[in-house]
Amino acid sequence: MNGIGEFQTILLVEDNPDDEELTLLAFKNNHIANSIIVVHDGAEALDFMFRRKAYANRDVRTTPRLVLLDLKLPKLSGFDVLQELRNNDMTRFLPVVILTTSNQDEDIINSYKFGANSFIRKPVEFSKFNEAIKALGMYWLVLNEVPLSTKPSLIKG
């Protein structure tokens, strides 16, 4: 772990309050200590990422290490958000995991086409959901390496 561990933020883009709460519970349940920031639509997600509007003054160190992105979102869809992130040099290599209820081939294909790193269908069963969140945290926050340029400390505001 590097020295800025407490700022290993996860951005959860989720409009359904139940899903939001369950995801947070699952993280807590699996002892994933990272701070999780929740935004509720696509536009808010982009504002947060690029420090605009309500997030203009956010601490640069809270720039997330991982984005969990739902596809069905108000205002801007998950695909719109993904494309914006991939078009920006700052976020080009940021790990984005699609976490959604859809399992349509078309959605999976488009997700990868637009540069998602992973596609996970939210399991209905409690235990499987718990396991999925655990595995996700383990993989993307512990095992996965990202280039330095995407590390929060190096992103200039």
Partner 1 sequence: MVLSIIQNISIIIAAEVLYHFLSKSFSGKAYLISILNGILFGLTAVLAMMTPFRFESGIIYDGRTIVIGIATLFGGPLTGSMASAIAASYRIFIVGGSGYLAGVLSILEAFVIGAIFNRIRKHSKPSQELLLVIASALLIHIFMLLAQLFLPNERWRLVLPVIAPVVLTIYPIGFILVSALFIEAEKSARVQEKLQESEERYRKIFNNHHTVMLIIDPQSGAVIDANPAAEAYYGYSREALCSMNITDINTLNPEEVKQGMARAKQFRKNAFQFRHRLASGEIRDVEVFSGPIDFSGKEYLYSIVHDISEKMEAERKIAEINENLEKIVAKRTEALEAANRELESFAYSVSHDLRAPLRAIEGFFGFLMQEIAEINPSLSDNARHYQERIRFNITKMNLLIDDLLNLSRIGTQELSLQSVDMSELAREVANELLSENPGRRAAITIDPAMTCIADKALLKVALTNLFSNALKYTSTVIQPSIRFSSMDKDNERVYFIKDNGIGFDMQYAGKLFTPFQKLHSDKRYPGTGIGLSIVRRVISKHGGKIWAEAVPDKGATFYFTLGG
Binding site for partner 1 (CB under 8 A): 16, 18-19, 22, 25, 29, 101-102, 104, 122, 124-127, 129-130
Backbone angles phi, psi at 71, to 5 degrees: -90, -40
- Beta carbon of residue 25, minimum distance to partner 1 (angstroms, whole number): 6
**Other Cβ atoms within 10 Å of 22 Cβ, number:** 18
- Beta carbon of residue 117, minimum distance to partner 1 (angstroms, whole number): 23
- Beta carbon of residue 62, minimum distance to partner 1 (angstroms, whole number): 27
- Beta carbon of residue 67, minimum distance to partner 1 (angstroms, whole number): 21
Which residue lies nearer to partner 1 by CB, 14 or 91? 14
Both structure tokens of 41: 């639509």
Which residue lies nearer to partner 1 by CB, 99 or 141? 99
Cβ burial 72-91 (10 Å sphere, 16+ → b, else e): ebeebbbbbbbebbeeeeeb
Which residue lies nearer to partner 1 by CB, 29 or 153? 29
Which residue lies nearer to partner 1 by CB, 112 or 126? 126
User: Contact, 98 vs 67, CB < 8 A?
Assistant: no
Between CA 46 and CA 33 the distance in angstroms is 24
